[in-house]
Each structure stands twice: as structure tokens, then as C-alpha cells.
Amino acid sequence: MSAAAELPEAQALVDHGILSWLAATDHKRIGILYISTVFAYFVIAGALALTIRLQLLHAGMTLVGPQAFDQVFTLHGTAMVFLVIAPFGFGLANYLIPLQIGAPDMALPRLNAFSFWLFLFGGLTVFLGAATNGGAGDAGWTAYAPLSTIRVGDGLGQDLWIVGLLMISISTIMTAVNFTTTVLVYRAPGMTMWRMPIFTWEMVATSLLVLVAFPPLTAVLAMLLIDRRLGGHFFDPAMGGSAILYQHLWWFFGHPEVYVMILPFFGIITEVVATFSRKPVFGYTGLVLAAFAIAGLSMTVWAHHMFTTGAVVDPFFSGMSFLIAVPTGVKFFNWIGTMWRGRIRLATPMLFALGFLFNFLLGGVTGVMVASPPIDFQARDSYFLVAHFHYALGGGSLFATFAAIYFWFPKMFGYRLRERLGAWHFWLLLVGFNLTFFPQFLLGMMGMMRRVYTYPAIPAWSQLNALSSLGAAIQFVAVAIFVANLIVSTRKRIPAGDDPWGGYTLEWTTSSPPPELNFERLPPIRSERPAYDLRHAAAEARS
């Protein structure tokens, strides 16, 4: 009467051909499609990052000229934001949400598949710009008007950037609709919302943000397109338009977007920390409420990106930005509380989770710093800011991404990744990452601006830049080790079993990988730790 039935191994994913992936509507397959695509974009965006660090190794290098450099950092930023970090969260959620709530699939499986393919095409469209005469979009990932409304040559690259993002925006909104509907309607009997895993809760908050914040992105992109192609004047002050309007609309989307890029990862960290501390989640209610407090507040802080325009009331946005640190702090204390007096196992997912805690703390604290207008006036558009958001998104979300991969890979594919290589991956990434970005705080304070293709030959700047580039090289090695881990682990597979880690949530009660409709038989759900409860009921029954 085991809840995790024995199933022929070939069931879930393996026995169909390549073409079957085109027709996939199973959320697990779509999740894997997302994650694989994300990884490909990650490699490309990473290569672009390495290009940047190579160009900035010394002052006056001529590896990449200014126009090309603009395209490089634009594509790097655009890809990392829209094609890597955010969609990894959605891809993982696609895989996990139905499993975690005990549902057979997402509410609208075909819409789910549609979202994925549109996302894929959107990314390709953005990169297609690189193949055009004028090159890819080059106005930064933020594409401020009027820079982005100026058409150089046929300007196709920037246009393709815009329409690519339009596709991604639509795709993401559809995904959020699907997630929300699924969670509201398809939970298994007994799975009340207050028993759902924290990861699922974070995805609900994320979906809410997407629903209200992405449509203004669609609107502002359409306005940009109209200005560029139809002679519109939205952002043209001479004819009644306003460049500040662009920034308002962009950042009303843009700030929630960065929370879309962190909330799912908070969920990942919660699951990993609890499992490897061998304790229940500390402060479950607090974590849920904090997630929504963060989501809500994130919609009120957008103009902290506009302090220096003189067109917004700085104190309001500064105050709200300080405020948002509070629920974030609550989460930190809850994670620490979870680990407190726990029996900690330093498996690879936990290593990355701990790395996240350290890195994101730095990212968050420096965020509070730049929330203060006087500091922001100095730090804005300098490398200080670059370091701040890389600590949050790279040191934070990227580390959580790897935590998630090491944690859930066995569930998805039925075999484990190597712990030894995982540890090497982690330590090298931690060192490399910090070596890359910590010097950038200093560079920013010394006055080095962002989005510059070279800098004056000041000795301190050169040294710090060199350190930063060295860090990037180390990160490259770390990721190469990760790839090696994937290869080695796949060649000689170590079976994972249903529950290699002693997890708490429903996905650990079914086989690895799960069968087509996820559960042969659902266990009773009486708490937020149904897998744990099941194990202990079985243990008691035996004794």
C-alpha cells in the first residue's frame, strides 16, 4: 500500500521521440523544456558577460568597439532578465506546482505549451536582431526613450528586440493565468491553501505581480514601436510627448519584474533550507505574509529608479523602498530560525542555499543603501549599482537556481548528480562570483560608470577591473564543472529513488520521475509536510 507505486522507468519522459516534445502538454515536459531553453540562453548570456569582462580587463582595450559593446550589454541584460532568471522560475514552477498541490497537470495544458513556445520564439527574435545590418538592440535592457526611438539605419535590431519582448510578455501573462487558476481550483482534497508548500505560495505572489505589472510593459513596448515605426510622438517632447512617461511606465513594470525574479527563488531556498536542516519551516505564516507584503510593496517603489530625474517625489519612493526591506528581513529571520538547532546536512543544494543567504544579504543591504536618494545620486548608473543588482540576481537568484537544480534533478530524471563535483561547482562559483562583483562596489564608489566600453587608465580602476575579470573566468570554470557533472552523472547513473533527500512536500511521495498524471495514489494531507507525515505514519505502522 505504498503511496509511491512502482512504475516502469520509461513511463514519464523517455520513450517518445524528439517530435513528441513539440506536442508536449504535460507540465513536467514543459517544465523541462523551459529549463533546458533557459540553460541555453544562460550559456549565451554568460558568453556575452565574459566578453564584457574581457573588454574591460584593461583600460583602452579594443576587443569590442563601442557600438558592438552596446549590443553586448543589452543582449546580456535582456537575456539574463527575460530569458534566464524569470523563466527559470516559471519553468521550475511549471514542473513543481501540480506535483506540490496534488494535481494531475496545470489547469490549461495547451495554453501552458503555447506559453513556452511563444517564449522560445520571443527569445530567438531578440537575438535575431544580431543578424541584421544594424546589429541587435543596443539601448540597454531598459531601452529608455528617446535613445530607443532613434532609428539608426533600418533599425531592425531594436524593433526585433521590442517585438521579441512583446512575445515574452504575452507568454508570461498566460503562464501567470495558468498558475493562479491551477492553484485556486486544482488542489487535492485536504490541500488547503495554508498547507501548500512555500514555493507554491511564492509562485502565487509572483503570478499576481505578473498579472498586474506585465501588461504596462506590453503597453509601453507598443508605444515604443508606434514611435519608431508609425511616427508616433509618445516620448517626443517637441510634439507633446514625454521621455519621463517612458520611465514611469517601464519601471512600474520593471520593479515588480525584479521581484518576479526573486520570489520563486525565496521559495526554493525555503524548501531546501528546511529539508537540509531536518526541521519544519520556521514561521510558515510569516513567510507567506511576507511574500505578499513584498509583492504589494514592490508595486509602490518604481520611481526609485528615477530619483535623479527630478520629476518624482523622492521621499515617497525612498520610504517605500526602505519599507520593503522589512518583510525581506522577516524571511531571512525565518530561514535562520529554520536552521537554528537543526541537524544540518551540507549537501550541494544546501551549500548553494547558504551561498544565497550570504550573497543576497549583500545585495539587499546595498539595495537599502541606494534607496536613499543622497546615496543614489552618487551611485546611480555607476558600477556600485551594477554590483548591487548582480549580488541580488546573480548571487541570489542564480545560486538559488543551482540549489534548485541539484535538489530537484533527481526527481525529474530519476538519477542523482555527483556531490563532489557539486561542491567544486559551488565553491568556485562563490569565490568567482564575489571576486567579480565585490570590486565593482569599490569601482562604483570611485566613479566608474556603467555601460562604458572602456575607462581611463587609473591604476586602482585597472586593478579592480582585472580582479573582476579574473572572477568571471573562475565563474566560467565553475559552470564548466557543472556541465561536467551533468555529463558524468548521466553516463553512470546512480538511481535516486522517490525521495533521496527526505523531503517534506508531495512531489517526494511519487516516483522519480513521476508518472504521467503525477500520482498513482495521493497520501492524506494533514499538514504542510505531507511527505514527512507519510514517512512517519509508515514508520509507526511498522513499529
Partner 1 sequence: MTVRSSRDLALRAHPLLLAVLLFLASELMFFAGMLTAYYNLRLQTAVWPPRDVHLDLVGSSIGTGLLALSSAAMLLTTHSLARARFLVARCALATAILLGIGFLGITLHGWMDDTFRINSHAYGSIFFMLTGFHAMHVLAGVLLMVLWFAALRTPAFERDERAGGEAIGLYWHFVFGVWILIWGTIYLIR
Partner 2 sequence: MKTGVGLFASSMLFAVVTAIVYGFATRDVVGVMLLGMTSLALFVIALYIRVAEGESGLRADDPASSPADGAGDVVGTFALESYWPAAAALCVGLGIAGITFLPGLSSAMLLVALVAGALVVRLLVREST
Number of residues near partner 1 (by CB under 8 A): 43
C-alpha–C-alpha distance, residues 254 and 208, integer Å: 15
Decide: is 248 part of the binding site for partner 1 (CB under 8 A): yes
- Work out whether 313 is an interface residue with partner 1 (CB under 8 A): no
Place of cell 508606434: 226
> Is 243 among the residues that bind partner 1 (CB under 8 A)?
no
Q: Which of 46, 49, 121 is nearest to 84 (CA)?
A: 46
All three cell numbers of 12, joined, read 514519464
Amino acid identity of 223? M
Q: Name the segment binding partner 1 (CB under 8 A); options: 146-154, 174-182, 189-197, 361-369.
A: 174-182
The partner in contact with residue 159, picked from partner 1, partner 2, none with C-beta cut-offs of 5 to 8 angstroms by kind, is: partner 2
CB contact at 8 A, 89 and 206: yes
Q: Which does 292 bind (CB under 5 to 8 A by kind): partner 1, partner 2, none?
A: partner 2
Partner from partner 2, partner 1, none contacting 187, C-beta within 5 to 8 A by type: partner 2
User: What's the closest the beta carbon of residue 529 comes to partner 2, in angstroms?
Assistant: 14
Residue with cell 509583492: 295
Contact 160, 233 (CB under 8 A): no
Largest CA distance in the chain: 82
Which of partner 2, partner 1, none interacts with 329 (beta carbon under 5 to 8 A by kind)? none
Residues pairing with 495 in the sheet: 415
Nearer to partner 2, 85 or 249 (CB): 249
Determine the Cα–Cα distance for residues 512 and 491; give it in Å rounded to an integer.
18
Separation of alpha carbons 221 and 78, rounded Å: 14
Q: Which does 256 bind (CB under 5 to 8 A by kind): partner 1, partner 2, none?
A: none
Which range touches partner 1 (CB under 8 A), out of 222-230, 404-412, 441-449, 470-478?
A: 222-230
By CB under 8 A, is residue 184 in contact with partner 1?
yes
Q: Give whichever of 139 and 145 is closer to partner 1, judged by the CB atom.
A: 145
Least distance (Å) between residue 28 CB and partner 2:
12
SS (H, E, C) 209-276: HHHHHHHHHHHHHHHHHHHHHCCCCCCCHHHCCCHHHHHHHHHHHHHHHHHHCCHHHHHHHHHHHHHH
Q: Which option in partner 1, partner 2, none does residue 55 bind, with CB closer than 5 to 8 A by kind? A: none
245 binds partner 1 (CB under 8 A): yes
Q: How many Å apart are CA 341 and CA 278, to the nearest integer?
A: 10
CB-wise, 24 or 350, nearer to partner 2? 24
> Is 219 among the residues that bind partner 1 (CB under 8 A)?
yes
Distance between CA 72 and CA 187 in Å, rounded? 44
- Look-up of cell digits 557533472: 485
190 contact choice in partner 1, partner 2, none (CB below 5 to 8 Å, kind-dependent): partner 2
Compute the chain's Rg from CA coordinates. 23
190 sits near partner 1 (criterion: CB under 8 A):
no
Site for partner 1 in 92-111 (CB under 8 A): 104, 107-108, 111
Closest to partner 1 by CB, 111 vs 486, is: 111
- Write down the least CB distance from residue 252 to partner 1, Å: 8
Residue with smaller CB distance to partner 1, 143 or 403: 143
Q: For partner 2, which is the closer residue by CB, 162 or 290?
A: 162
Q: Specify the residue, 214 or 461, whose C-beta has the smaller distance to partner 1.
A: 214
- Using CB under 8 A as the binding rule, the residues of this chain from 134 to 173 that contact partner 1 are 173
The DSSP secondary structure of 107-147, one letter per residue, reads S-HHHHHHHHHHHHHHHHHHHHGGGSTT-S--STTTT-TTG
**CA–CA dist 475, 472 (Å, integer):** 5
CA distance 448 to 411: 45
Exposed/middle/buried for residue 495 (C-beta within 10 Å: 0-12, 13-18, 19+)? exposed
Of 112 and 401, nearer to partner 2 (C-beta) is: 112
Query: Nearest-CA neighbor of 166 among 86, 97, 221, 95?
Result: 221
Partner interacting with residue 191 (select from partner 2, partner 1, none; CB below 5-8 Å by kind) = partner 2
The binding site for partner 1 (CB under 8 A) comprises: 104, 107-108, 111, 173-174, 176-178, 180-182, 184-186, 211-216, 218-220, 222-223, 226-227, 230-234, 236, 239-242, 245, 248-249, 252, 517
